């Protein structure tokens, strides 16, 4: 294999991935106007339905523009030996491999972030604004960006520096050490996410004593689930869209409700949503996902260790001095079809788990409040009621609203 043929394989992967993605989007868009299934006719009234149609079309067109732009930039960058250019800049500041890698990734990340910012600005302040979702102020938008970049620099930079150091000290065995590092890190962030990461972006307050809290406790006790940490987060600071999630485990286990969810749903509906989340715990989905992602990370790192020392990877991207950091980028591009494949498989499991969690809520609480909460959440996010099956198969981590309603109402 020559560097040139590897280069063309990379280009082919990028283009095929783009085409497949656009075909799925177009298939999905062709079904926007499908008749609404009978079970879902009460989700929207006429005006809201029209609004949801406009929202879908607007997002479809916007997605087409942004993905085409990013395809062109990526291809131009590869065609013009952009990686060699950035690598040369990084090497002019240091001859230490880890420092070079940090500068290299710093430039790439910052550059791609700068290119993406106008699009995310437009998405937030024009599209989401027009449809009444946006609550983000310009100050929050800028602060979020800065905090995100800073976190990326510290956490991403720290992990990268350690992994390269493992590689330099242990050679091919670096993948075992890197795996242990990533595993410890992901278990740690999983555990302390609510304490360490969330406060950087949001305010969390314990759910005040009262009827809702009593109803939640009553349900949790009835299924023998220890749930005393219930927090409300100020999601309304950024968007009107609502959500609820569990995080942490053991003594750090807590549930977080968006203030928008508390406002939009009735108490019974909130308890039903929590019953669904408790189902994920009781059916061991959380553990399954954590173990599966650790195994996948291990596999990826192992495959990386086989190829990373091959100078062909760097040469394929037109970089003269082979290095770990350029090899990593080439590997990432070549590996993307495999990670798409594992993404499918994980989505497949995820949809199965959603049914199981819904069944758990149905069996230990009630199904109708969950049905009505899912409908309200769909309505409030103007979601698509008639997605194309192929699109669902590839992209959806949850079954469609119709499938969930049918399952919840099945005797
Ligand atoms: Zn779920």
Chain position carrying tokens 């520096």? 161
Percent of the chain whose pLDDT exceeds 70? 100
What span, in angstroms and rounded, lies between the C-alpha atoms of 366 and 376? Answer: 16
Q: Which pLDDT value is given to residue 265?
A: 95
What span, in angstroms and rounded, lies between the C-alpha atoms of 126 and 196? Answer: 32
Residues 6+ apart with CB under 8 A from 55: 131, 382
User: How far away, in angstroms, is 285 Cα from ligand 1 center?
Assistant: 9
Residues 6+ apart with CB under 8 A from 203: 233, 234, 237
Q: Which of 25, 128, 277, 354 is catalytic?
A: 277
Q: What value does the mean pLDDT take over residues 298-316?
A: 96
User: How far away, in angstroms, is 224 Cα from ligand 1 center?
Assistant: 19
252: pLDDT confidence band, cut at 50, 70 and 90?
A: confident
What span, in angstroms and rounded, lies between the C-alpha atoms of 55 and 49? Answer: 10
Exposed/middle/buried for residue 359 (C-beta within 10 Å: 0-12, 13-18, 19+): middle
CA angle 337, 112, 314 (to 5 degrees): 55
Q: Which residue in 89, 203, 105, 198 sits closest to 152, CA to CA? A: 105
User: How far away, in angstroms, is 301 Cα from ligand 1 center?
Assistant: 29
Q: Which tokens go with 44?
A: 């929207």
| pTM attached to this predicted model | 0.90
User: How far away, in angstroms, is 354 Cα from ligand 1 center?
Assistant: 5
pLDDT in tens, 378-405: 999 999 999 999 999 999 999 999 999 9
254-258: strand order across its sheet: 204-206, 230-233, 254-258, 244-247
Alpha-carbon 143 to chain mean position: 21
What span, in angstroms and rounded, lies between the C-alpha atoms of 353 and 407? Answer: 13
Q: What value does the mean pLDDT take over residues 201-205?
A: 95
Q: Which tokens go with 187?
A: 């278990």
Residues 6+ apart with CB under 8 A from 280: 246, 286, 353, 357
Exposed/middle/buried for residue 303 (C-beta within 10 Å: 0-12, 13-18, 19+): middle
User: How far away, in angstroms, is 132 Cα from ligand 1 center?
Assistant: 26
What span, in angstroms and rounded, lies between the C-alpha atoms of 277 and 369? Answer: 14
pLDDT in tens, 56-69: 999 999 999 999 99
Helix H or strand E segment including 365: none
What span, in angstroms and rounded, lies between the C-alpha atoms of 343 and 370? Answer: 27
Q: Is pLDDT at 251 greater than 90 in this prediction? A: no
Q: Which of 129, 358, 403, 411 is catalytic?
A: 358
277 in active site:
yes
29: pLDDT confidence band, cut at 50, 70 and 90?
A: very high
Q: Which residue in 14, 141, 138, 124 sits closest to 59, CA to CA? A: 124
User: How far away, in angstroms, is 257 Cα from ligand 1 center?
Assistant: 14
Q: Which residue in 30, 54, 59, 31 sits closest to 44, CA to CA? A: 54
User: How far away, in angstroms, is 250 Cα from ligand 1 center?
Assistant: 20
Q: Which tokens go with 375?
A: 């409908």
Q: What value does the mean pLDDT take over residues 249-275?
A: 92
User: How far away, in angstroms, is 153 Cα from ligand 1 center?
Assistant: 32
Residues 6+ apart with CB under 8 A from 348: none
CA-to-CA separations, 210 to 15, 216, 243, in angstroms, rounded: 56, 10, 21
Three-class secondary structure of residue 258 per DSSP: strand
Q: Which residue in 82, 84, 104 sits closest to 93, CA to CA? A: 104
Q: What value does the mean pLDDT take over residues 222-243?
A: 92
Asked if residues 367 and 375 have their Cβ atoms less than 8 Å apart, the reply is: no
Q: Which tokens go with 39?
A: 């079970």
Q: How many CB atoms lie within 10 A of CB 19?
A: 11
Residue 206, strand partner residues: 231
User: How far away, in angstroms, is 215 Cα from ligand 1 center?
Assistant: 20
User: How far away, in angstroms, is 300 Cα from ligand 1 center?
Assistant: 27
What span, in angstroms and rounded, lies between the C-alpha atoms of 127 and 104? Answer: 34
Q: Is pLDDT at 125 greater than 90 in this prediction? A: yes
Q: Is pLDDT at 132 greater than 90 in this prediction? A: yes
User: How far away, in angstroms, is 280 Cα from ligand 1 center?
Assistant: 7
Residues 6+ apart with CB under 8 A from 208: none
User: How far away, in angstroms, is 114 Cα from ligand 1 center?
Assistant: 34
User: How far away, in angstroms, is 75 Cα from ligand 1 center?
Assistant: 38
Q: What value does the mean pLDDT take over residues 88-99?
A: 96
Q: Which tokens go with 383?
A: 């979601």
Average pLDDT, the chain: 95
What span, in angstroms and rounded, lies between the C-alpha atoms of 386 and 98? Answer: 49
Asked if residues 96 and 325 have their Cβ atoms less than 8 Å apart, the reply is: no
């Amino acid at each position: 294999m020559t560097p040139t043929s590897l280069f063309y394989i990379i280009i082919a992967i990028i283009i095929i991935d783009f085409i497949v993605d656009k075909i799925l989007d177009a298939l999905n868009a062709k079904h926007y106007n499908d008749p609404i299934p009978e079970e879902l006719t009460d989700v929207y009234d006429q005006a809201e339905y029209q609004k949801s149609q406009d929202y879908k079309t607007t997002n479809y067109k916007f997605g087409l523009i942004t993905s085409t732009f990013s395809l062109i930039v990526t291809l131009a960058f590869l065609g013009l030996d952009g990686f060699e250019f950035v690598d040369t800049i990084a090497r002019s500041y240091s001859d230490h491999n880890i420092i070079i890698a940090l500068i290299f990734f710093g430039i790439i990340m910052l550059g791609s972030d700068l290119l993406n910012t106008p699009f995310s600005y437009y998405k937030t302040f024009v599209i989401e604004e027009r449809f009444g979702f946006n609550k983000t102020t310009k100050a929050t938008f800028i602060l979020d960006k800065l905090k995100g970049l800073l976190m990326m620099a510290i956490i991403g930079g720290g992990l990268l520096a350690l992994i390269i150091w493992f590689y330099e000290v242990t050679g091919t065995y670096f993948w075992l050490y890197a795996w242990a590092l990533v595993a410890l890190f992901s278990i740690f962030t999983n555990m302390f996410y609510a304490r360490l990461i969330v406060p950087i972006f949001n305010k969390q307050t314990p759910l005040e004593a009262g009827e809702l809290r009593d109803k939640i406790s009553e349900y949790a006790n009835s299924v023998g689930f220890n749930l005393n940490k219930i927090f409300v987060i100020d999601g309304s600071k950024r968007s009107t869209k609502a959500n609820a999630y569990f995080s942490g485990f053991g003594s750090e286990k807590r549930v977080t409700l968006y203030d928008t969810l508390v406002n939009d749903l009735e108490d019974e509906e909130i308890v039903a949503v929590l019953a669904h989340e408790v189902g994920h715990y009781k059916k061991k989905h959380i553990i399954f996902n954590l173990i599966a992602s650790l195994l996948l990370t291990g596999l990826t790192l192992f495959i990386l260790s086989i190829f990373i020392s091959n100078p062909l990877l760097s040469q394929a991207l037109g970089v003269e001095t082979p290095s770990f950091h350029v090899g990593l980028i080439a590997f990432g591009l070549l590996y993307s079809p495999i990670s798409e494949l594992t993404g499918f498989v994980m989505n497949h499991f995820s949809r199965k788990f959603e049914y199981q969690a819904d069944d758990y809520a149905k069996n230990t609480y009630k199904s109708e409040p969950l049905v009505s909460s899912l409908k309200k959440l769909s309505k409030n996010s103007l979601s698509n009621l008639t997605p194309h099956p192929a699109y669902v198969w590839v992209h959806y981590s949850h079954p469609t609203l119709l499938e969930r309603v049918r399952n919840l109402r099945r005797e």
